Amino acid sequence: MFNEFGRISPFCVREGEPAVATKRLSMRKISEILRLSHEAQLSQRQVAQSLNLGLGTVSNYLKRAQAAGLTWPLPSGMDEQKLGRLLFPSQPLTGQRRFVEPDYPQVHQELKRKGVTKHLLWQEYRQQYPEAGYSYAQFCHRYLEWQGKQQRSMRQLHRAGEKLFVDYCGPTMEVINPDTGEVRQAQIFVAVLGASNYTFACASWSQNQADWLQAHVRAFEFFGGVPELVVPDNLKSGVSKTHRYEPDINPAYQQLASHYGIAVVPARPYKPKDKAKAEVAVQIVERWIMARLRHQTFFTLASLNQAIGFLLTELNQRPFKKWPGTRRSQFEQLDQPVLRPLPAQPYRYTDIKQARVHIDYHIEYDKHYYSVPHNLLTRLSNISAKRHI
The confidence band for 13, taking pLDDT boundaries of 50, 70 and 90, is very low
Among residues 122, 150, 178, the one where a domain terminates is: 150
Res. 169: pLDDT tops 90: yes
Q: What are phi and psi of 351, to 5 degrees?
A: -85, 115
Within-domain flag for 369:
yes
188/315 same-domain check:
yes
Q: Is 150 helix (H, G, I), strand (E, B) or coil?
A: helix
167/88 same-domain check:
no
Within-domain flag for 1:
no
Residue 136 bridge partners (DSSP): none
58/182 same-domain check:
no
User: From CA 17, how far away is CA 295, in angstroms rounded?
Assistant: 64
182/243 same-domain check:
yes
CATH of the domain at 209: 3.30.420.10
Q: How much is the average pLDDT of 38-62?
A: 88
What pTM, to 2 d.p., does this model score?
0.61
Within-domain flag for 26:
yes
CA separation, residue 207 to residues 118, 150, 202 (Å): 39, 41, 12
Among residues 101, 128, 150, the one where a domain terminates is: 150
Within-domain flag for 2:
no
Res. 155: pLDDT tops 50: no
What are the tens digits of pLDDT across the range 275-284?
788 899 999 9
Domain extent for 32: 13-150
292/316 same-domain check:
yes
What are the tens digits of pLDDT across the range 63-96?
988 888 888 888 887 887 788 888 887 544 444 4
37/130 same-domain check:
yes
DSSP annotation string for 267-299: PPTT-GGGGHHHHHHHHHHIIIIITTTTT---S
User: From CA 134, how far away is CA 101, in angstroms rounded?
Assistant: 8
- Report the percent of the chain where pLDDT is more than 70: 71
Decide if 186 contacts 204 (C-beta within 8 A): yes
What are the tens digits of pLDDT across the range 294-317?
999 999 999 999 999 999 999 999
Within-domain flag for 279:
yes
Q: What are phi and psi of 241, to 5 degrees?
A: -130, 105
94/141 same-domain check:
yes
145/220 same-domain check:
no
**Predicted pLDDT of residue 271:** 63
333/200 same-domain check:
yes
Instruction: Identify the CA nearest to 57 among candidates 21, 3, 108, 7.
Output: 21
What are the tens digits of pLDDT across the range 178-196?
989 899 999 999 999 988 8
Decide if 246 contacts 211 (C-beta within 8 A): no
Q: What is the DSSP letter of 8?
A: B
Q: Report the domain count for the chain.
A: 3
Decide if 152 contacts 269 (C-beta within 8 A): no
Q: Is 105 helix (H, G, I), strand (E, B) or coil?
A: helix
Among residues 123, 150, 177, the one where a domain terminates is: 150
Residue 167 bridge partners (DSSP): 190
130/54 same-domain check:
yes
CA angle 152, 156, 159 (to 5 degrees): 150
- Report the percent of the chain where pLDDT is more than 90: 34
Instruction: Identify the CA nearest to 67 among candidates 87, 85, 81, 91.
Output: 87
177/312 same-domain check:
yes
224/245 same-domain check:
yes
Q: Is 173 helix (H, G, I), strand (E, B) or coil?
A: strand
Q: Dihedral sign for Cα 267, 114, 127, 9, please.
A: negative
Within-domain flag for 157:
no
Decide if 111 contacts 139 (C-beta within 8 A): no
User: From CA 4, how far away is CA 17, in angstroms rounded?
Assistant: 26
Res. 274: pLDDT tops 90: no
Q: How much is the average pLDDT of 108-132?
A: 78
Which residues are within 8 A (CB) of 112 and not within 5 positions of it... i.e. 6 or more apart? none
